[in-house]
């Protein structure tokens, strides 16, 4: 694209609303927009294929099962001790196992593995605990993964381990309060960054879970702990260093350690269901117990029929709020001083109402089939703040933390501030959301100042137009919300440079959702591209601003700009002239649709074109397309709003309007083609999205 000029920054006008009559074209799809930062996102990864049971090979490579690519929440998600959250063996080979030999082989290996347990595996000898090495995901295939008569051991320094979707059972040796056999389901001695999730743990000789000897950054969630004397013991240390999250677990018919929490620096327990059935042989001794110097925050749990539901030592701090106690008796204690920590300062979480907890936990705790799992996958949230209060101080550092091959939604929550950096989301990292957490789009700004002609630091040459982008999004499913992405390259100061194009945001992906953002620059502000000429790249932008002056919405994506404001800026020398769009659409694809939006700006009348055809690289096979419909056009739009480019006539491509208003709108003519009602019926938002329904994460 031709080199052009720039002027000072210009603040966009407010979105269209009361200043124009309300008109919406038929969408044909529901655009579901949620305001919840970490709302659930439906994962679509394939269920892991397994070999027939009569295969001669006991272990096989397989696609990752549903939920094997998710990362932990709670304290297991916190960046610490050199480990960036807990994601297990993701990125390593996926293997399916049905024998003890293969389970032990891969669980103890040095390399990362996703180990899919697809059968009932009996421990030999009884009570055996496999010594799991770091960087492992051990996950049941649907509900078929059972570990019988033993369990797992995570020793000192073992880290980044996920145990999920398994039934671990039946090491019971005939003695109820067994002090002779230490045959736990999961025992951890000095491990860190462990996620125990959606398991059924029962009928063991000793404890179901033991977290010992300063094991930390542990999350235990959505498990059924049942029919056992000792459910979940934490401590066996003189130190007070461990950080542990325990949520949405069902403690059912367990006598003690529900859990017993000894010398834990930050123990966050919420939305757990503790149930002791009347008239059975098992009677609860106590429920949640804060021992030693533990600092515990207990929220919105449900206690049904327990004796001594909440107990604390005089040396412990226990703050509880929002829980329900039904048919309980005995000690129900809190106190020891004000809460020493706020869980929200470590990670994002959402509380369920305590009254809803029994139904929620009964329905969803324990192993799940792949269908159920796919519908309930939750987003991982990574926090960014320049002042160091987030997990990361730069946006790119958070992007780097998203494991390659991830398919579950990752929300990067960015605190207010100006982040002067380049950000790239590569194609290997899908479903990444950049979410500003401030009160407005202007609160969080990502900005840089490269231009096409800017030389790279390594001396390899200029960045080029696409390479100049402040934010480059190449991973499918990318979303940006409630922030500003800008390129503040100073054209006036670089008039001797060859290549003044300066991109703020470049997308080269499919299913991109840009919601309530500002993209701001001068020439070539917003590059909406595809990964390749033959690849589909759908983009939906809503309730946003695009600010620029020359070809500042351009590329070959099939993109909708809906209910937004396109703000025209003067050039670097104060003159008014420019082009709103420069599509380079491939033949047979949809190009740009500007729908129900406003085009305005502090520029002279009749100085801006709505668009011109960009045949990138002189490619005559392209068929550029822009439709502007149901929008308000300011007087800045030329009476003949389309023009030629680089020897290609706009009349040979696809440019049209429909039912626009405002002083810049005009009637049908040879220089101003208008769609008929019939033609417009095939150029609506749903036609661009082709079955995709954008949904906020």
If phi over 0 gives left and psi between -120 and 50 gives alpha, with beta otherwise, what is residue 369? beta
Residue 356: DSSP 8-state: G
- Alpha carbon 577 to chain centroid distance? 40
SS3 at position 688: helix
Query: Which secondary structure element, helix H or strand E, spans residue 147, and what is its range?
Result: strand 146-148
Residue 621: DSSP 8-state: T
* Range list of β-strands (E), 465-597: 471-473, 479-481, 484-487, 505-508, 512-515, 518-520, 526-529, 538-542, 545-548, 550-555, 558-562, 565-568, 578-583, 592-595
Burial class of residue 172 (count of CB atoms within 10 Å of its CB; 0-12, 13-18, 19+): buried
How far is residue 401's CA from residue 392's CA, in Å, rounded to a whole number? 9
Is residue 391 within 8 Å of 79, Cβ to Cβ? yes
Is residue 173 within 8 Å of 183, Cβ to Cβ? yes
Residue 669: DSSP 8-state: B
Please, what sign has the CA dihedral across residues 668, 673, 679, 682?
A: negative
Burial string for 652-678 (b: 16+ CB within 10 Å, else e) reads: ebbbbbbebebebbbeeeeebbbbeee
Residue 138, token pair as written in the block: 């051990």
How far is residue 285's CA from residue 305's CA, in Å, rounded to a whole number? 11
How far is residue 319's CA from residue 334's CA, in Å, rounded to a whole number? 6
How far is residue 265's CA from residue 244's CA, in Å, rounded to a whole number? 8
H, E, C per residue of 198-214 = CCEEECCCCEEEEEECC
Query: Which secondary structure element, helix H or strand E, spans residue 158, and what is its range?
Result: none
Query: Hey, which residues does 196 pair with through a beta bridge?
Result: 163, 220
Phi and psi torsions of 369, nearest 5° = -70, 165
257 catalytic residue (yes or no): yes
SS3 at position 375: helix
SS3 at position 343: helix
- Which of the following is catalytic: 212, 257, 538, 612? 257
How far is residue 391's CA from residue 55's CA, in Å, rounded to a whole number? 46
Neighbouring residues of 376: CB distance < 8 A, sequence distance ≥ 6: 40, 364, 368
Residue 280, token pair as written in the block: 């059975």
| Cis before 259? omega within 30 | yes
Residue 172, token pair as written in the block: 């019971």
Is residue 301 within 8 Å of 357, Cβ to Cβ? yes
User: Which residues does the annotation mark as catalytic?
Assistant: 257
């Amino acid at each position: 694209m031709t080199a052009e000029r720039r002027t000072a920054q210009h603040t966009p006008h407010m979105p269209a609303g009361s200043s124009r009559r309300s008109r919406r074209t038929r969408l044909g799809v529901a655009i579901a927009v949620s305001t919840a930062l970490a709302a659930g996102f439906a994962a679509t990864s394939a269920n892991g294929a397994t070999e027939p049971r009569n295969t001669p090979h006991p272990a096989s490579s397989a696609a990752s099962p549903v939920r094997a690519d998710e990362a932990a929440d709670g304290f297991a998600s916190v960046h610490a001790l050199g480990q960036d959250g807990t994601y297990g063996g993701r990125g390593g080979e996926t293997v399916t196992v049905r024998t003890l030999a293969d389970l032990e082989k891969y669980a103890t290996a040095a390399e990362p593995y996703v180990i899919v347990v697809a059968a009932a595996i009996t421990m030999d000898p009884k009570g055996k605990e496999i010594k799991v090495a770091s960087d492992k995901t051990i996950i049941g295939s649907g509900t078929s993964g059972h570990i019988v008569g033993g369990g797992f051991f995570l020793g000192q320094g073992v880290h980044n381990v996920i145990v999920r979707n398994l039934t671990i059972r039946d090491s019971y040796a005939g003695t109820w309060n067994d002090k002779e056999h230490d045959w736990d389901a999961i025992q951890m001695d000095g491990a860190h960054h462990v996620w125990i999730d959606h398991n059924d743990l029962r009928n063991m000789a000793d404890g179901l879970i033991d977290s010992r000897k300063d094991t930390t950054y542990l999350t235990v969630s959505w498990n059924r702990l049942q029919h056992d004397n000792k459910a979940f013991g934490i401590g066996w240390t003189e130190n007070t260093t461990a950080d542990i999250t325990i949520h949405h677990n069902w403690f059912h018919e367990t006598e003690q350690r529900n859990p017993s929490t000894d010398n834990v620096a930050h123990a966050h327990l919420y939305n757990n269901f503790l149930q002791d059935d009347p008239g059975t042989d098992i009677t609860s001794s106590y429920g949640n117990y804060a021992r030693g110097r533990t600092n515990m925050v207990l929220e919105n749990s449900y206690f049904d029929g327990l004796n001594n539901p909440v107990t604390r030592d005089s040396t412990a701090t226990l703050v509880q709020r929002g829980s329900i106690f039904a048919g309980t008796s005995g000690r129900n204690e809190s106190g020891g001083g004000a809460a020493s920590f706020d869980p929200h300062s470590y990670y994002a979480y959402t509380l369920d109402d305590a009254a809803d907890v029994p139904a929620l936990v009964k329905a969803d705790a324990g192993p799940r089939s792949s269908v159920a799992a796919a519908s309930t996958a939750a987003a991982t949230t990574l926090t960014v703040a320049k002042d160091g209060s987030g997990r990361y101080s730069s946006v790119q550092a958070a992007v780097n933390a998203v494991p390659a091959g991830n398919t579950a939604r990752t929300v990067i929550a960015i605190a207010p501030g100006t982040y002067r950096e380049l950000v790239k989301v590569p194609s290997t990292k899908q479903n990444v959301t950049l979410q500003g957490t401030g009160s407005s789009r202007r609160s969080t700004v990502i900005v840089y100042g490269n231009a096409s002609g800017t030389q790279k630091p390594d001396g390899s040459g200029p960045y080029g137009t696409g390479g100049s982008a402040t934010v480059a999004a190449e991973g499918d499913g990318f979303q940006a919300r409630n922030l500003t992405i800008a390129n503040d390259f100073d054209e006036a100061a670089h008039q001797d440079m060859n290549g003044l194009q300066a991109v703020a945001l470049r997308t080269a992906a499919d299913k991109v959702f840009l919601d309530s953002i500002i993209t701001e620059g001068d020439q070539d502000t917003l590059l909406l591209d595809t990964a390749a000429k033959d690849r589909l790249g759908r983009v939906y932008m809503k309730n946003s601003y695009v600010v620029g002056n020359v070809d500042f919405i351009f590329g070959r994506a099939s993109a909708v700009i809906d209910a937004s404001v396109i703000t025209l800026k003067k050039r670097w020398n104060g003159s008014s002239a420019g082009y709103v769009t420069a599509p380079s659409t491939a033949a047979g694809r949809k190009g740009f649709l500007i729908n129900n939006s406003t085009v305005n700006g502090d520029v002279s009348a009749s100085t801006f074109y709505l668009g011109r055809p960009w045949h990138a690289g002189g490619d005559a096979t392209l068929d550029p397309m822009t439709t502007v419909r149901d929008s308000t056009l300011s007087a800045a739009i030329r009476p003949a709003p389309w023009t030629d480019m680089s020897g290609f006539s706009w009349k040979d491509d696809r440019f049209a309007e429909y039912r626009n208003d405002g002083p810049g709108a005009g009637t049908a003519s040879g220089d101003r083609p208008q769609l008929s009602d019939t033609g417009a019926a095939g150029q609506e938002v749903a036609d661009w999205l082709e079955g995709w329904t954008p949904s906020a994460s």
